[in-house]
Amino acid sequence: MSSALSRALRPTVIAAVAGLVVMLVIPFYAEPFLLQAGLFAMAAAIGAIGLNLLTGSTGQLSMGHAFFLAVGAYGYVYFAGDSGHELSGLGLPTPLAAVLAVVLAGLAGGLFSPIAGRLRGTYLGIASLALIFIGQHILHNAHAITGGANGRDVPPLELAGFSFADTPELVVFQVPLRALEKLWFLALLLLLAAAWVARGILRGRPGRAMGTIRDHEIAAGVMGVPVARYRAGVFVLSSMYAGLAGVLLAMAFRRTVPDYFGIILSLEYLAMIVIGGLGSVAGAVAGAAFVSLLPPLFTRYGDGLPLIAAPGAEGVSPAEASRILYGAAVVAVVLFFPGGLLGVWGRVRASLAARRTSHPLTRMEPEEQPT
């Protein structure tokens, strides 16, 4: 019993409880701006976890992540949306539409898997680049499904009579919960589930196989890992993660716009996993938070910082400053912290632990002194 109690009071467990408490309390206090930014960050974290499985753990570079995000987002809108005079939609129940959108993203990944299974590393990166351009063309021209360059409204999720929209407001502890607050809880739940699944995969047999494929493909083959099948499988899985992130993004946006799902978005996801730390779930989450929170926070609170001019005045604007900082962060991580943000944390922890445990024995205790 006492060992169970001491285990329950371990620092990591306490930190997990504290983190969860903070995340659960935020919607009751934070202004909509912070909630919106946090929602984008959580959606991005799910997508980044998926990309990290593919790129960080299996060593397969993908530039097509934005395409699968788009499939998820537009898939949800198409399945859940109603047919209008110029738009078509299936009008399915929204939870079913969300699940189908994720499956659709997985199918799209599956269609690409003959290529994903055969190509290695950077070659896959170049091949998947094509997906972005195909995606942009479809999004702009398949008017009936995507709404063209203008995009489409996203129907709010409705789960067993509970609507994730502004109205009706749900009042809890005298705080009115509108769409952003409700979506916050949903995103948190999905993020935890996504992280848990990814962690399970990485820590089990498939994770080890993926690591071997990344580090030594021939060795993996010799040890009986079906390399091509694994590569294709991970690609499908990562597409499904992207699809889920896309569904969440669509709900947070409330409007899907094709321009958003461009090459820049793919590069941002790569930046997330590089900055956060390749090959781990926590790294992907940390990187996603860094990359997606930095620009809005700078725009919002840039006025108070030195050297930054108010928007419209001469000088470095907040938007430019956030871009400069973002670029500097990528360069700094690549140069000095190959393990990303997570690597930094690991180093700090290791050095702390070393200081705590090592007592270099410089001389003998008095009773041990030879007489």
Partner 1 sequence: MKSTLRMTAVTAVALALAAGAAGCASDKATGGSGGAGADGVKQGPGVTDKTIKLGVATDLTGVYAPLGKSLTQSQQLYFEQTNAAGGVCGRKIETVVRDHGYDPQKAVSIYSELSTSVLAIPQFLGSPMVTAVKQRIESDKMFTIPSAWSTTLLGSEPIQVTGTTYDVDMINGIEWLLSKKLIKKGDKLGHVYFEGDYGGSALRGAKFAADKHGLTIVEQKIKATDNDMGPQVAALSKAKVAAILMSAGPRQSASLAGIARSQGMKQPILGSNSAFSPQLLATPAKPALVEGFFFTSAGAPISADLPEVKKLADAYAKKYPGQPMDSAVVSGYGNGAIVVSALKKACEAKDLTREGLIKAHRSDANADTGLGTPMNFTYFDKPATRKTYVLQPKDKIPGGAVIVQEATESELATTYQPPVGSY
Distance separating alpha carbons of residues 241 and 198, to the nearest angstrom: 10
Among 216, 259, 315, 327, binds partner 1 (CB under 8 A): 259
Give the shortest CB-157-to-partner 1 separation in angstroms: 15
**CB-wise, 287 or 295, nearer to partner 1?**
295
Among 93, 153, 228, 339, binds partner 1 (CB under 8 A): 153
Q: Which stretch binds partner 1 (CB under 8 A): 63-71, 197-205, 254-262, 280-288?
A: 254-262
Distance separating alpha carbons of residues 87 and 282, to the nearest angstrom: 40
Give the shortest CB-22-to-partner 1 separation in angstroms: 8
Does residue 76 contact residue 154 with C-beta atoms inside 8 Å? yes
Q: Which stretch binds partner 1 (CB under 8 A): 52-60, 119-127, 199-207, 251-259?
A: 251-259
Among 92, 130, 319, 344, binds partner 1 (CB under 8 A): 319
Told to check if 33 binds partner 1 by CB under 8 A, we report yes
CA distances from 69 to 23, 52, 122 (A): 25, 15, 21
Told to check if 172 binds partner 1 by CB under 8 A, we report yes
Among 6, 7, 359, 360, binds partner 1 (CB under 8 A): 7
Q: Which stretch binds partner 1 (CB under 8 A): 24-32, 88-96, 233-241, 351-359?
A: 24-32
**CB-wise, 37 or 202, nearer to partner 1?**
37
Among 203, 216, 229, 255, binds partner 1 (CB under 8 A): 255
Q: How many CA atoms lie within 13 A of 143 on its CB side?
A: 3
Does residue 207 contact residue 197 with C-beta atoms inside 8 Å? no
Give me the amino acid identity at 313: A
| 3-class DSSP state of 162 | strand
The one-character DSSP state at 276 is H
Told to check if 267 binds partner 1 by CB under 8 A, we report no
**CB-wise, 106 or 318, nearer to partner 1?**
318
Cβ–Cβ contacts within 10 Å for residue 139, how many? Answer: 25
Query: Residues 194-233: x/- map of binding to partner 1 (CB under 8 A)?
Result: ----------------------------------------
Q: Which stretch binds partner 1 (CB under 8 A): 69-77, 110-118, 121-129, 249-257?
A: 249-257
Please work out the total of residues on this chain that contact partner 1, with binding judged by CB under 8 A: 53
Among 25, 90, 159, 348, binds partner 1 (CB under 8 A): 25
- Please return the burial class of 86, using the count of CB atoms within 10 Å of its CB with bins 0-12, 13-18 and 19+: exposed
Show contacts with partner 1 in window 285-314 (CB under 8 A): 295-296, 299-300, 310-312
Structure tokens at 62: 């993908």
Give the shortest CB-10-to-partner 1 separation in angstroms: 10
| 3-class DSSP state of 256 | strand
Distance separating alpha carbons of residues 230 and 232, to the nearest angstrom: 5
Chain position carrying tokens 């408490």: 21
Distance separating alpha carbons of residues 187 and 192, to the nearest angstrom: 9
Told to check if 174 binds partner 1 by CB under 8 A, we report yes
Does residue 45 contact residue 288 with C-beta atoms inside 8 Å? yes
Residue 162 phi, psi dihedral angles, 5° rounding: -100, 120
Give the shortest CB-250-to-partner 1 separation in angstroms: 12
Give the shortest CB-58-to-partner 1 separation in angstroms: 26
CA distances from 57 to 85, 92, 178, 187, 212 (A): 46, 36, 38, 24, 9
Told to check if 123 binds partner 1 by CB under 8 A, we report no
Q: What is the dihedral of CA 187, 75, 280, 34, to 10 degrees?
A: -30
Residues that bind partner 1 (CB under 8 A): 7-8, 13, 16-17, 20-21, 24-25, 28-29, 31-33, 35-37, 40, 86, 140, 148-151, 153, 166-167, 171-176, 180, 252-255, 257, 259-260, 295-296, 299-300, 310-312, 317-320, 323
